[in-house]
Structure 1
Amino acid sequence: MDQRPECAPSLDSAPRQAIARRTREAKRNDKRDAIIAIARRMFLERGYAATSMSAIAAELGGSKGTLWAHFASKDALFAAVVTAAAEDFRSHLIALFQPCGDLEATLLSFARAFTRTLVAPSVLGLHRIVVSESIRHPEIGAIFYENAPFATQTTLARFLEQQVKAGRLEIDDPWAAGRAFLRLCIGPQQQALWGRPVLQSTELDREAGFAVETFLKAFGTASR
C-alpha cells in the first residue's frame, strides 16, 4: 500500500496556508491604513515640515522600524496620504453625482456637494500642503490631480455627453464644458484659500445655484 511521505503536507495545509497569508496581509494593510490616518492628521495639524517620522511612530505606539517597514521616507508616506485623501475625495463626489430625471436638479445637487466638499477644513488644509509641496515634489501634485480634479472632471464630462445625446444640452466639447462648470463652482474655495472667511451654507447654495444657472444658459436646450 502506498503511504504518504511524512514530509508531505496534509490535504488541508494549503487552505490553512492561504488563510494565514490573507490574515498577514490584512494585518499589514490595517497597520498601513493606521499609519496613513495618523500621518494625515499630523500633516494637517502641523504642516509637512514640522511633522517628523519619529513623531508619527510615537503616535502610532510602535517602533520606528515598523513605520520604516511600510514607508521608506517621509516623502513616500506623504505621497500615500495624498493618494488616500484624493481617492476619498473622488469617491465621495462620484457617489453624490447620480444622474436623475431632471438635469437641473442633478447639476444643482452635484454643485452643492462639490462646493461644500471644497471648503471642508480637511480639504482646504490638504490643498494648501499639496500646492506647497508640489514645488519641491511635482509628483505629489500629479497624484492629487489624477485622483481628484481629473477624475471628477472625467465623470462630469461623461454625464454631459449622455445629456447631449438625450437632447438636453447643446455642447460640442463635453470635456471643456465640464471644466467650465467646475470652475464656476470653485470660487468659494479660492476665497477661503486666500484667507477670506468660509461662506455659510446659504451662501454656498447661492454660489452653486448661480453656477448651474449660468451653465444652463450657455449650454441648455428648451427640451431639458
Structure 2
Amino acid sequence: MIEPKTRRDQNREVRHAAIVSAARDAFLEHGYAATSMSTIATKLGGSKGTLWAYFPSKEDLFTAVIDDVTASFRQNVREALRPGRDCYTTLLDFAERFLMKLLQPDSIRLHRLIIGEAGRFPEIGRIFYTRGPQVVLEQLSAYIRTQMDAGVLRSADPVQAAMSLIQLSQVQQSLRLWGVVDGARVEDVGDHAIEALNLFSRAYAP
C-alpha cells in the first residue's frame, strides 16, 4: 500500500518543480556559463542555501532540467513504438513525433546551448546525451531489432539503422539551428518525416 504524501512532501515537490522551472528559463535565456545558483535563488526569492538543499551543484540542477524537458518526449517515443502496428506506420509515427519535438523553439534553444557550451563544459553534453538522445536511440534500435528478427527489415546493425533514421530526421533541425529556416508547420513536419522514412525504408528493405 502506498503511503499518502504528507503536506511537507507535497510542499517539497512544489518547491522542487518551481526551482526546475526557473532554472530551465534561466539556462535557455542566458546559457549555462552565465547562469549561476545565486541568480536562480534571487529569481525564486529565496536563499542560495535553500536552493543548495535541493540541488548540491549547478550540474545537478541542469540534470534535473534536462530530465524535466525530456520526460514527456521519452513517453512519446514509447507510445510511438508500441507493438501492434505495421513497421512503416510505427516508424512514421516515431519520425513525426521526433521531428515535432526537435523543431520546437525550446528544443532549438537547448541544442544551441549544448553545442555552444559543451566544449567548455563537457559535463552538460554528457548529461544531455544520456537523458535524451541515448534513450531515444536505445528505444528505437530495440524496436528495429524486432523488425529485423521478424524479416520486415533486412538484417543489419539495429543501432546503426536507428542512427540513420534519426540523422535523416535531423536535417530539418539543422537548418533551424543555423537560422536558415524559421518556424515549423505541422504539415511540413509530416512531409519531412515521410521523406526521411522512405529513404530509410529503401536502405533497409528486406
Aligned to 2:204: 219
Aligned to 2:141: 157
RMSD of aligned C-alpha atoms? Answer: 2.3
Aligned to 1:64: 48
So what's the TM-score if we normalise by structure 1? 0.80
Amino acid paired to 1:84: D
- On the 8 A contact 2:66/2:131 being kept in 1, the answer is no
Instruction: Give, in angstroms, the shift of residue 103 of structure 1.
Output: 1.5
Instruction: Give, in angstroms, the shift of residue 26 of structure 1.
Output: 4.4
- On the 8 A contact 1:38/1:60 being kept in 2, the answer is yes
Q: Whole-Å Cα distance in 1 between the matches of residues 81 and 173 of structure 2?
A: 19
Aligned to 1:91: 75
Aligned to 2:192: 207
Question: Which runs of structure 2 are paired with 1:169-208 in the superposition (5 Å)?
Answer: 169-196=153-180, 197-208=182-193
Q: Whole-Å Cα distance in 2 between the matches of residues 68 and 51 of structure 1?
A: 15
- On the 8 A contact 1:188/1:199 being kept in 2, the answer is no
Q: Whole-Å Cα distance in 2 between the matches of residues 19 and 102 of structure 1?
A: 42
Question: Which runs of structure 2 are paired with 1:1-224 in the superposition (5 Å)?
Answer: 24-196=8-180, 197-221=182-206
Match of 1:98, SS? coil
- On the 8 A contact 2:81/2:143 being kept in 1, the answer is no
Q: Indicate how the Cα distance of structure 1 residues 168 and 75 shifts in structure 2: closer, same or farther if over 3 A, else same.
A: closer
- On the 8 A contact 2:80/2:90 being kept in 1, the answer is no
Amino acid paired to 1:55: T
Q: Percent identity of the aligned residues? A: 38
- On the 8 A contact 2:92/2:194 being kept in 1, the answer is yes
Match of 2:85, SS? coil
Deviations 1:185-213 (A, max 9, x none): 10111111001223422222111101111
So what's the TM-score if we normalise by structure 2? 0.86
Structure 2's unaligned 5+ residue stretches are: none
Q: Indicate how the Cα distance of structure 1 residues 72 and 101 shifts in structure 2: closer, same or farther if over 3 A, else same.
A: closer
Structure 1's unaligned 5+ residue stretches are: 1-17
- On the 8 A contact 1:90/1:147 being kept in 2, the answer is no
Match of 2:156, SS? coil
Amino acid paired to 2:135: A
